[in-house]
Amino acid sequence: MLLQKLALPMIGAEDETDPPWDHLGVLFSITPHLVAAVAILAATIQPYGAGEFGKVVLVLLILSAQVAIRGIGDYMYRHRSPADKLQLWLARFSVISLLSGVAWGLALAILYADSPPDTQVVALAIGCGIVQSAAARAYLAPRSTLLVIMTVTAFVNVAAIREGNWVMVPICVAYVGFLASYMVRLITLDEKRIAAEKRTRVLVDALAESNEKLTEANEQLRRHARTDALTGLDNRRGFNEELTRRLDLAHKADRPLALLLIDVDHFKRFNDTHGHQAGDRCLQVVAELLQSAIRGLDATAARYGGEEFALLLQGSEAPDAIDFADTLRARIAQLLVPAEEGRAANLTVSIGVAVARADDDENSIVSRADRYLYAAKEAGRDCVRGTETPMRADVSA
């Protein structure tokens, strides 16, 4: 299990859709290598004080070359072409990582070899710090990390064996084993983190989809709540909402508004004569004509109740609402509604028109349009009455 974990390729090496580019950006960063170089240079203080200038210069040259290579790699990675393949940069990182391991191991081995115990202890301590730092990022690049640790350890062991210090071998083996276990733990934790993030993304996506469906369902409910099932027009509730909204526009945005109340003449007689199915069809035919008449206009048609319809005209058509209503009345009078036994029936409507005033509210404009509708019925039906048409004295108040 340990070897299987450490044999894993770099995260994202097989799936370029995850965040491997971000991981590589962390791995190519030169900052940790500058810190490691400073730490190793600190170990040259004692040799320098002892006059071992050749050893210090050699270590300095090795570290300078290592930092230069990492700096070039970092620069090239940050300025890579968008068309570059991930595998290319994975391979480059592996090579640069191996060179870093060789440089660190060689520098530490030089400092360890033929040095006083104090210098050797410092070199070993710095080496331990470097490999532990590398192990802490093992979840990003298990193979490269393990290779760097083994390379550094191998160089130090060679230096120790040359001096007959064989006890370093089992110590380093145990230490590498400890680091390997630590790396496996890190990799396992990161795998769990990635799995948790994927589950979270799935849940978030599912929640977003549910919210979208809920929003659509609420919108459908809202439409159903304000839509008349028979005609497909707004129902009384929808009409009331539209009237409030359009009156507000009329008052605040100076958008003229006219209300047409339309009543199908003698609808009860039509039902009794031709049947309720023909009556339903009659209402549907009127609704279809209203929809056709206002298409392209800033207007709303609604079934006001029973055989009554309401039309809200806003904008440039509102001042000419009387003419609009009379044209509408004439078009309806030309309709033939399918009735029983293949027959067809005519129908007419009476219309009351009220143009909104500055002091109008919902009740006042509806009340005025209703009085004009009553006047149209009193005038014999199949006609229009409104602000610009004569009214009987008993309905003018």
Q: Which residues, 6 or more positions from 277, have their beta carbon under 8 angstroms from its beta carbon?
A: 340
Cα torsion through 365, 368, 372, 377, rounded to 10? 100
Assess whether 191 and 269 both reside in one domain. Answer: no
Domain boundary among 186, 203, 220: 203
Assess whether 36 and 183 both reside in one domain. Answer: yes
pLDDT at 216: 84
CA dist 137 and 183 (Å) reads 8
Assess whether 288 and 164 both reside in one domain. Answer: no
* Domain annotation covers residue 208: no
* Domain annotation covers residue 336: yes
Catalytic residue among 307, 308, 317, 340: 307
* Domain annotation covers residue 42: yes
Asked whether residue 384 carries a pLDDT value surpassing 60, the answer given is yes
* Domain annotation covers residue 209: no
* Count of domains observed in the chain: 2
Structural domain that includes position 163? 2-203
Mean pLDDT of 67-89: 87
* Domain annotation covers residue 215: no
Known catalytic residue at 307: yes
Q: What is the pLDDT of residues 193-231, one digit of tens each?
A: 778 888 888 889 888 888 888 888 787 777 777 889 899
145-175 burial by CB neighbour count: b if 16+ within 10 A, else e?
Answer: bbbbbbbbbbbbbebbeeeeeeebeeebeeb
Q: What is the pLDDT of residues 303-335, one digit of tens each?
A: 998 999 999 999 988 889 999 999 999 999 998
Q: Which helix (H) or strand (E) holds 366?
A: helix 362-378
Assess whether 195 and 243 both reside in one domain. Answer: no
Q: What is the pLDDT of residues 81-108, one digit of tens each?
A: 888 888 888 888 888 888 888 988 888 8
Asked whether residue 279 carries a pLDDT value surpassing 80, the answer given is yes
Q: What is the pLDDT of residues 238-250, one digit of tens each?
A: 999 999 999 999 9
* Domain annotation covers residue 210: no
Beta strand 308-314 with 299-305 is: antiparallel
CATH number of the domain bearing residue 269 = 3.30.70.270
* Domain annotation covers residue 144: yes
* Domain annotation covers residue 219: no
